[in-house]
Amino acid sequence: MTNPTPFIFHDLQDSQIFALAQSVGKQGYLAHGMVQDLQQAPWVKHSRYIQHIIESPSLGDINAGLFALNLKKHAFNGVFVPVVDDIADLLAEYAPLLRKNGLQFLTPSPQHTKQINTFYLQQWHGKLSVPATAYCGGDDILNTAISIGFPILLKSYRDGFIAFESADILKQWLDSVEDYPFHFVQRVQRYIEGETNTLATVMLLFDAQSRPVRGFTARRLSVVQTQFGPFGETVAAQAEWIPDLYDAAVELLSEMGWVGFAEVECKQDQTGQWHLLEVNPRLSGWSCLAEADGAGLLIAYHQLCTEDATIEPACLQRSTTSYSRIIASSMHQPDWSNLNRKTYKHMLTYPENECFGAWDNTDKYANRAWATYMLQRCQSQT
């Protein structure tokens, strides 16, 4: 039986968000949403799981007021799922207006979304260690880095993270680089050294009373190689129950009185201590791994938004599923190291405990559109 209250997803042209819409559709829920250009995203119009679609600019291309007006204009009613930071900020800032216009969601307050920055968490003394973080102008990077202590990670813009082991190396780079955007506000953070598999993520859902009702943990296996090194988005991961990391993340957010989704990104040092890298006030883009592994974050979220019932806290993951982002839209990079003919043949068997993102054995026409698109991307790389 189909649940009458739909999920609402933004940016369905994004393969990761599309995969989340598929996951709720397979469980008997309606999926409605927005897409930038339907002709450029044939997988959306061919999917059996998405019933209602409108064309709308992404929030990154228009201001928040116009985006909210678009939602009202098209009479969207249902459970809204935030999967990027600017959407999460929109829900927090305009919650009364959006709810009045028919959207249902859980969101932390605007104050909470600001407080989760590691700059404001410097005084936290819980189970998670918080690396020293500072903001500065482009002409004060060296002095700021020295005050924090090396190694440091410069996190000024997306895909531009770069690590430095010493003050001498940073000074040489500053003297030689020409095209770095020093006019941006610069974020300097103490760098936690370690291989990619020391990175792990906790995905959490808190109810309106700030109880952690669902959770999921996974270890990262591979990340995008960005302009200055391996500091990008996750392209491969393994579901793994990490209880000490889960407890540490819950401790931090419970203390703050968190509500709604949170993605807590962490790294473990050689002593076993977990360090907080970032908290995102939303569902992770690669939460399709969590859903494929049985975490049940989305369905619990729907119940909290639409039913007058209490959900008992539980972590439902099986810890058996691996993730490789083979299916990726133009705004994301695929797992290029695992993208080949052998993998495509393997995908056609639809292995039970492997998640390739927006690839589902019951959504054949969408699969066909994705396969065509990804083969073109693969050919353009060769």
Residue 197 CA to residue 219 CA, distance in Å, equals 6
Whether residue 119 lies inside any domain: the answer is no
Q: Is pLDDT above 90 for 1?
A: no
Residue 330 domain-assigned (yes or no): yes
Q: Are residues 175 and 218 in the same domain?
A: no
Q: What is the pLDDT of residue 230?
A: 82
Between 71 and 49, the higher pLDDT residue? 49
Q: Place 70 in a pLDDT band, splitting at 50, 70 and 90.
A: confident
Report, as an integer, the average pLDDT of 356-364.
Answer: 95
Which residues are within 8 A (CB) of 111 and not within 5 positions of it... i.e. 6 or more apart? none
Among the candidates 190, 207, 225, a domain finishes at: 190
Looking at the structure, do residues 163 and 221 belong to the same domain, yes or no? no
Q: Which residue has the higher pLDDT, 45 or 61?
A: 45
Give the count of beta carbons closer than 10 Å to the beta carbon of residue 35: 25
122 falls within a domain: no
Q: Which amino acid is at 118?
A: T
Among the residue ranges 263-272, 282-291, 328-337, the one predicted with the least confidence is: 328-337
| pLDDT at residue 382, rounded to an integer | 67
Report pLDDT for 69.
86
Does residue 31 belong to any structural domain of this protein? yes
Indicate if 34 and 58 belong to the same structural domain: yes
Going by pLDDT thresholds of 50, 70 and 90, the confidence category of residue 368 is: very high
User: What average pLDDT does this structure show over 117-146?
Assistant: 95
CB 367 within 8 Å of CB 359? yes
Does 168 score more than 90 pLDDT?
yes
Residue 114 lies in a domain: no
Q: Tell me: do 142 and 276 sit in the same domain.
A: no
Q: In what order do the strands lie in the sheet with 152-154?
A: 133-136, 186-190, 152-154, 162-164
Cβ atoms of 321 and 219 within 8 Å: the answer is: no
Average pLDDT, the chain: 94
Q: What is the pLDDT of residues 217-236, one digit of tens each?
A: 999 999 988 878 888 899 99
The CATH code of the domain that includes 15 is: 3.40.50.20
Residue 166, pLDDT score: 97
How much of the chain exceeds pLDDT 70, in percent? 99
pLDDT at 2 over 80: no
Quote the distance between the C-alpha of residue 94 and its chain's center.
21
Query: Domain boundary residue among 153, 175, 190?
Result: 190
Whether 80 maps to a domain, the answer reads yes
**Among positive and negative, which fits the CA dihedral 248, 249, 254, 256?**
positive
Q: What is the pLDDT of residue 227?
A: 79
Residues 73 and 178 in one domain: no
- Evaluate whether residue 377 is within a structural domain: yes
Judgement on whether residues 237 and 334 belong to the same structural domain of the protein? yes
Q: Same domain for 93 and 228?
A: no
The answer on 98 and 236 residing in a single domain is: no
- At 231 the pLDDT is 83
Do 172 and 90 lie in a common domain? no
Which DSSP state fits 5?
A: E
Residue 130 tokens read as 């918080």
Tell me: do 152 and 218 sit in the same domain: no
Average pLDDT for 22-51: 96
Q: Are 236 and 194 in contact (CB under 8 A)?
A: no
**CATH number, residue 159:** 3.30.1490
CA distance 340 to 326: 10
Residue 88 and residue 137 in one domain: no
- CATH number for the domain including 235? 3.30.470.20
- 297 has pLDDT over 90: yes
Residues 6+ apart with CB under 8 A from 8: 32, 33, 76, 78, 79, 80, 81, 103
The predicted-structure confidence for 150-163, as pLDDT tens digits, reads as follows 999 998 887 789 99
How many domains does the structure of the chain reveal?
A: 3
Show which of 146, 174, 190 is a domain's final residue.
Answer: 190
In terms of domains, do 93 and 185 share one? no
| 126 domain residue, yes or no | no
Expressed as residue numbers, the domain containing 168 is 133-190
